[in-house]
Amino acid sequence: MILIKGGTVIGPTGATPADVLVVGEQVSAIFSPGQGPAEGDFETIDATGKYVIPGAVDAHTHMELPFGGTFASDTFDTGTRAAAWGGTTTIIDFAVQRTGEVVQDGLAAWHGKAMGNCHIDYAFHMILGGVDDESLKAMDTLVTDEGITSFKLFMAYPGVFYSDDGQILRAMQKARDNGAMIMMHAENGPAIDVLVKQALERGETDPIHHGLTRPEALEAEATSRAIWLAGVAADCPLYIVHLSASKALEQVAAARDLGRNVFAETCPQYLYLTLEDQLGAPGFEGAKWVCSTPLRSKHETHRADLWQGLRTNDLSVVSTDHCPFCFKDQKELGIGDFSKIPNGIGSVEHRVDLLYQGVVDGKLSLARWVETIATTPARMFGLFPRKGIIAPGSDADIVLYDPAARTRIGVETHHMNMDHSAWEGYEIAGKVDTVMSRGRVIVKDGAYHGGKGHGQFVRRGLSDYLI
Ligand SMILES: [Zn+2]
Ligand SMILES: [Zn+2]
């Protein structure tokens, strides 16, 4: 039994001074300050001056993902440990059905990678690399038997994960029937491939051309097309992943205004980093920030629009799309050809801090901070109320956040398996102080007390946002 005393509990409805009693792996009760059990034969954690928030839920990670001839550099062991350091206590990773593979085999491979290796709880979405009769049938099985209730499709990456519009429609119709969520990588891949080829023919090989060949129009077009296709599939639930551009956000907002089952997430990199300042860094340096969708221009309104979208709930969730690659030997695969740079940025450790900076900067309320990093992703993907909230009966995944301390982000201090940081030198006015996962204190006083194998696979239900 542990009593967390003297803190301010933050939930999706606001902030309340309260004490939290944890018994075993769950929250047992919440008391007005000082009204809980008297000091006795149990541990007390002093939360005076700290925010007590639900452990964050990162709904978009790619541990050990095979991509571009290499693998994402974080394993489930290193990646979930880094997540824990940063206050994230649940990840939803993407299991992969490669083209030509049986869906259940891809899922089994992912369980094999994760089982016994995770420091925090984890769940899976399923990437469908090939939509056919067999994989459509597998969607039903995964929803009913495996606790996997969301499926990612790609309008980009022809020849790798790409689905054509007919395949997308069929998967959406299936999702409409079984209640699953379709997650969409919304970029027009065939058109992007033409622009990439033309750029390389002109000798434009630097990392910035990764961004310039993936223009906003091709994200907005694909987002719009996905929304229309979901409409044809009788309003199948649709979740746009890693939305980066103003005009794509406009499409989502318009659909939501019509009452459609359309949702979207963005990621910290799109809220802070830009095409010019990071992707356009001199020489090959910009490769660190090659990700898809790409970073957008600072001369346009993307970042301000995305923050506003978070406030208005047109963007419901912030995930990281954590997909780390080392600079040496991995990002370097693309020297002389930006299209060969593995796509991805590693941020799984930093999302709680980076979004708290939004609170400090007056862009988000405390409640909205907690909602976008914890409560809404839990509700969106069928983990609520077990995850995403501090309430009697929910898992004791709890973070004490210290608004008076500071965090300096960089390769010297981070715990991700990366030889660089996309956030080198960033300073946050706040700090993850203590982290608890299912009642076990895993980070405290700057020391790590967790262990691999503590994290368990969590079966998910259907999204809370549908009736
Ligand atoms: Zn994607
Ligand atoms: Zn991704």
What are the pLDDT digits (tens) for 111-156?
A: 999 999 999 999 999 999 999 999 999 999 999 999 999 999 999 9
408-423 as b/e, with b when 16 or more CB fall inside 10 Å? ebeeeebbbbbbbbbb
DSSP 51-98: EEEEPEEEEEE-TT-EETTEE-S--HHHHHHHHHHTTEEEEEEEEEE-
6 CA from centroid of ligand 1 (Å)? 41
248 CA from centroid of ligand 1 (Å)? 14
CB-CB contact of 285 with 333 (8 Å): no
Which residues partner with 154 through β-bridges?
162, 185
In whole angstroms, give the CA distance from residue 316 to residue 375: 10
CB-CB contact of 287 with 236 (8 Å): no
345 CA from centroid of ligand 2 (Å)? 10
23 CA from centroid of ligand 2 (Å)? 36
8 CA from centroid of ligand 1 (Å)? 36
6 CA from centroid of ligand 2 (Å)? 39
Structure tokens at 98: 């490669």
In whole angstroms, give the CA distance from residue 295 to residue 278: 8
Eight-class DSSP state of 292: S
* The predicted structure's pLDDT at residue 69: 87
In whole angstroms, give the CA distance from residue 93 to residue 429: 29
* The predicted structure's pLDDT at residue 39: 73
* The predicted structure's pLDDT at residue 40: 79
27 CA from centroid of ligand 1 (Å)? 35
CB-CB contact of 345 with 321 (8 Å): yes
In whole angstroms, give the CA distance from residue 372 to residue 392: 21
140 CA from centroid of ligand 2 (Å)? 23
71 CA from centroid of ligand 2 (Å)? 13
322 CA from centroid of ligand 2 (Å)? 7
Residues with CB under 5 A from ligand 2 (ion): 321
What digits encode the pLDDT tens for the residues 159-201? 889 999 999 999 999 999 999 999 999 999 999 999 999 999 9
* The predicted structure's pLDDT at residue 467: 73
Q: Which ligand is the nearest neighbour of the Cα of 187?
A: 1
Could you tell me how many residues make up the chain?
467
Which residues partner with 322 through β-bridges?
61, 345
58 CA from centroid of ligand 2 (Å)? 12
Q: Which ligand is the nearest neighbour of the Cα of 65?
A: 2
What digits encode the pLDDT tens for the residues 15-55? 999 999 999 999 999 999 999 998 778 999 999 999 999 99
Between the CA of residue 227 and those of 136, 255, 264, what are the distances in Å?
20, 7, 11
25 CA from centroid of ligand 1 (Å)? 34
* The predicted structure's pLDDT at residue 41: 81
**In degrees rounded to 5, what are phi and psi of residue 346?**
-100, 120
Global pTM reads 0.98
432 CA from centroid of ligand 1 (Å)? 28
Maximum separation of any 2 CA atoms in the chain, in Å = 74
Q: Which ligand is the nearest neighbour of the Cα of 292?
A: 1
Contacts 24+ apart (CB under 8 A), 167-170: 167/131, 167/132, 168/131, 168/226, 168/229, 169/229, 169/232, 169/233, 170/131, 170/136
* The predicted structure's pLDDT at residue 38: 86
Q: How far apart, in Å, do the first and last CA atoms of the chain sit?
A: 37
Q: For the chain, list residues with pLDDT below 70.
A: none
Q: Kindly calculate the radius of gyration of the chain based on its CA atoms and give it in whole angstroms.
A: 21
DSSP 342-391: PP-B--TTTHHHHHHHHHHTTSS-HHHHHIIIIIHHHHHTT-TTTSSS--
CB-CB contact of 456 with 389 (8 Å): no
241 CA from centroid of ligand 1 (Å)? 7
363 CA from centroid of ligand 1 (Å)? 26
203 CA from centroid of ligand 2 (Å)? 29
